[in-house]
Structure 1
């Protein structure tokens, strides 16, 4: 039976890491702030240029904030797992009376906390410096955010599974794997600018439907029901695969005695 107390124990363990680590705390605030400042100035330049930009340029920051949610949700799960490897604590976690489900749910809760902080920082700065309000998207924002979080966790689970299978050599995937989805997601440009064969692949990427749906809300003012249904259905598949893949690789590592060797 899943214990909420043990899940909170995983969260508390991660919180203790941040309590006395200035570099970890800085990481929570530094990159969201730098991203919103850099791309915010670029947006101002495009809007004040001599040409007439399309309407969705005004919401360029919205795409950036949503992409950051996806990136941070995946990174928080993967890096929180890596924290246990770097500190030589993974074996202790694995032999503790803690199931894999409880451990993963704890990492997901940590991810929610980190993503909420990043979202608050970026949304606040966008409104303060550039007068941009992401909440103009209305109720559409809720399924957009949930879809991106689900995809980020799915990628995080796959990353964890690969680290269980191949050891610490695969840790670079915690930062690299998510960027495979960046060109297919059409974050900063419409989907039709992609070549035809890439458009077909992008159609099966939940994030592409999220960003296409956001542009539909901005440019047409309509609720993107089709895109959100596609994103929800695909996320069910992605999450199921991510959980299955993580469990299979964990069992493989446990049977073959690989867990004590991870991080050596």
Structure 2
């Protein structure tokens, strides 16, 4: 039936995106390249600071080492998760294939699920080698965080998909003139998300805004795990609750942008 959610149609879209990724070694290289550059750049900076004696407070060097590398890796998971979602969508616009997809039996929820699965696949390709290199170069094992890492991952990915879904809706309605949001919007979150420093570092009036963002709860939770050796489930639960609300709002916004694009006739005007 047309109205039934189809796993086969989701699988077909995932297979399509997998073929596109597999057919281009430059895309695979790009997925791995940027996380690797980030990790090495910041990791070697941290190593230099420790050796230079800039972090010689009792336990300060070890804590800074772990929290900095950990924050870099988790930030890259967040960024690549959002961009993996958005890139698969925007490639349909670049190739002028989006109208064909929207006129096919594929339903919007199935399209969204296929984009989510593809973002996970892209993330796996790009981040797993970098986490292994972090062990090799800096002795930091993100996987050793165990269940805490799993919780961090879930909260970050739901936020990434929320942003990806919102940006995709904006692109549907306003076309490729808004494509800079794919690359830029998440970087607006970075200074407010307490990625490399505690929320208390921010000006007092910015702190409530920071606590409205799910990544803040993850990075505060990361520091609690590495410095205090405590998993702050209360923080992660709050972050996930905000995630659910944001993803629901993003899904509603995507649906409305899609209807608006159909009424305005902008779906046939996509492309380079």
1:198-213 to 2 correspondence within 5 Å?
198-213=206-221
Give CA deviations for 1:60-117 in whole Å, capped at 9, x if unaligned.
1111110001001110111110100111111111111100111111010000111122
Matched with 1:58 is 65
2:16 maps to 1:13: yes
- Which 5+ residue runs of structure 1 have no aligned equivalent? none
2:176 maps to 1:176: no
Q: Which moved more, 1:44-53 or 1:236-245?
A: 44-53
| Aligned residues of 2:32 and 2:130 also touching (Cα < 8 A) | no
2:33 maps to 1:30: yes
Count residues in correspondence: 264
Matched with 2:164 is 156
CA distance in 1, matches of 2:172, 2:142: 38
Q: Which moved more, 1:67-76 or 1:219-228?
A: 219-228
RMSD of Structure 2 on Structure 1 (CA): 1.3
Q: Which moved more, 1:20-29 or 1:253-262?
A: 20-29
Q: Specify the SS of the correspondent of 1:126.
A: helix
- Which 5+ residue runs of structure 2 have no aligned equivalent? none
**Structure 1 stretches of 4+ moved >3 Å:** none
TM-score (norm 1): 0.96
Q: Specify the SS of the correspondent of 1:98.
A: coil
Q: Specify the SS of the correspondent of 1:184.
A: coil
CA distance in 2, matches of 1:95, 1:56: 54
Q: Which moved more, 1:216-225 or 1:15-24?
A: 15-24
CA distance in 2, matches of 1:190, 1:56: 13
2:87 maps to 1:84: no
| Aligned residues of 1:46 and 1:57 also touching (Cα < 8 A) | no
1:58-137 to 2 correspondence within 5 Å?
58-59=65-66, 60-137=68-145
- Residue 245 (structure 1) shift: 0.6
